[in-house]
Amino acid sequence: MTELYVLILVVSTLLSSTTVDAYTDLPIIAGNGTYANTFGVIGAKPDGTIYSGDGTYYNTYDSYGACGTILHDTDMIVAISTTLYDQSMPFGDFNPNHATACGRKICATGPNGSITVTVADRCGGCKLYDLDFTQNEFPLIGQIEKGRIKITWQW
The pLDDT profile of the chain, 155 residues, written as one tens digit per residue, is 556 544 454 444 444 433 333 334 444 444 444 444 333 333 334 568 999 999 999 999 999 999 999 999 999 999 999 999 999 988 887 888 889 999 999 999 999 999 999 999 999 999 999 999 999 999 999 999 999 999 999 99
pLDDT of the residue at 100: 93
Q: In CATH, what number is assigned to the domain containing residue 134?
A: 2.40.40.10
pLDDT of the residue at 11: 44
Burial class of residue 6 in the structure, from the number of CB atoms within 10 Å of its CB (0-12 exposed, 13-18 middle, 19+ buried): exposed
Encoded amino acid at 6, one letter:
V
Residue 110 domain flag: yes
Domain region containing 147: 49-155
Residues 6+ apart with CB under 8 A from 102: 31, 66, 67, 68, 88, 119, 120
Cα–Cα dist 155/143, whole Å: 23
Using a cut of 0.85, tell me whether the model's pTM lies above it: no
Q: How many domains does the chain have?
A: 1
Residue 18 domain flag: no
Residue 84 domain flag: yes
Residue 131 domain flag: yes
Residue 31 domain flag: no
Residue 27 domain flag: no
Residue 54 domain flag: yes
Residue 77 domain flag: yes
